[in-house]
């Protein structure tokens, strides 16, 4: 599902990609939890699409959260 969302983003179908990436993130949060690298990657991927759609504040928040979680999980 994530690969399809990335493909949609690449084709310029950002609204559909955003919807799908939000679903991916929700599933990863439910199944893997917040402190899993796949969840963190999904946050970053959604942030990229949000930035492309001009939703800069939400994109920045997600990027900052993802960065903080990466530091927590992997260390400095």
| Residue 25: pLDDT band with limits 50, 70, 90 | very high
| Alpha-helical segments (H) within the chain | 2-10, 14-31, 37-52, 56-74
DSSP SS3 for 28: helix
Cβ-contact 24, 35 below 8 angstroms: no
Domain range list for the chain: 2-74
CATH number of 2-74: 1.25.40
pLDDT at 2: 87
Q: Is residue 1 over pLDDT 90?
A: no
For 32-71, write each residue's pLDDT tens digit.
999 999 999 999 999 999 999 999 999 999 999 999 999 9
Closest CA to 8 of 37, 59, 63, 45: 45
């Amino acid at each position: 599902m994530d690969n399809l969302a990335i493909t949609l983003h690449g084709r310029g179908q950002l609204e559909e990609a955003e919807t799908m990436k939000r679903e991916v993130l929700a599933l990863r949060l439910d199944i893997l939890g917040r402190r899993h690298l796949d969840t963190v990657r999904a946050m970053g991927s959604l942030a990229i699409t949000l930035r492309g759609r001009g939703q800069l504040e939400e994109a920045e928040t997600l990027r900052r959260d993802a960065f903080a979680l990466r530091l927590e999980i992997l260390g400095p």
